[in-house]
Structures are given as C-alpha cells and as structure tokens.
Amino acid sequence: MDDELDFEKWEAAIGKLILACSRVEYELIRLYEKWLPDRVYHKDAYLSRFDKSIGVARRSLKNGDTISELLVHMKKAANIRHLIAHNPIHYSSETNDFHIFDLKNNENSVCINELLSISESIGIISTELAVQLRINV
C-alpha cells in the first residue's frame, strides 16, 4: 500500500505518458501540414486526428503499415492520457488500492503498476513513431 501512495512514482509515470503523447502530437501537426493542408489540426477532435493520420500513413507514407500500427497504440494511450489528465488519484475500498478513475462513469481506471508499465511502453512507442514520422513525412 505504501508503494501505491508514492506520489513521485505517480508523477513520473503521468509525466512520461503526457510527454510521450505531446511528442507524437507535434509530429502529427507536421503530418497535417504536409498531407492534410486543407484541414485545421486543432479543429479536429483529439482522437480523430489519429484516425486521419492512420489513413494518411496507410495510403501515402513509406513504412505506412508500421506507422499506422504505432499510431493505433498511441491512440489507445491518448485515452489513458485523457483519463489521467482529467481525474484525480483516489482510494477504492472495493479494490483496496489507489487508482485514477473516470469520475463521470467510474468505468475506466488505472492503478500505479499499470500506469508504470503503460508509460514505459508508450515512451518507447512514441519515440519510435516520432522517428518514423520524421523520416517519412
């Protein structure tokens, strides 16, 4: 239980995930500028930006299958990013642990161990995706 209350672990995991998503968002802006010049990046919904970028990758980019697969992973991470960015850490008497859960519907949640694992893998995926987009866009 003490490990779950280690806010430095929460901060590190949350920070890593937010930075990974930001890294990719910057690259998606560049993709939009080149491949979707008639669209305004910030007018598209956050998650639909991934869908549009996946379509461009599959149709137009060298290594498009690899890039689109990485974008699918990042879209899933974006859902977790929304969860952690808009909800606090709470203790659950039902599960006897601390986690971040969606205050609106109580359905989505993540505990510290899950978040540590997710942020680590998404950090790697976002770097790989950023490199792929830099090379191919």
pLDDT tens digits, one per residue of 55-97? 999 999 999 999 999 999 999 999 999 999 999 988 878 778 8
Domains: count for the chain = 1
pLDDT number for residue 9: 92
* Helix, strand, or coil (residue 89): strand
Q: What is the CA radius of gyration of the chain?
A: 17
Of 82, 100, 107, which is closest to residue 21 (Cα–Cα)? Answer: 82
- Is pLDDT of 15 > 70? yes
Q: pLDDT-based confidence at 103, cuts 50/70/90?
A: confident
Instruction: Report whether 70 contacts 129 (CB < 8 A).
Output: yes
pLDDT number for residue 36: 95
Q: What percentage of the chain exceeds 70 in pLDDT? A: 97
Q: How far, CA to CA in Å, does 118 sit from each of 13, 73, 79, 110? A: 8, 11, 12, 10
pTM of the complete model: 0.86
pLDDT number for residue 2: 52
- Is pLDDT of 114 > 90? yes
pLDDT number for residue 4: 57
pLDDT number for residue 105: 82
Q: Tell me the residue range of the domain where 28 lies.
A: 3-136
pLDDT number for residue 90: 86
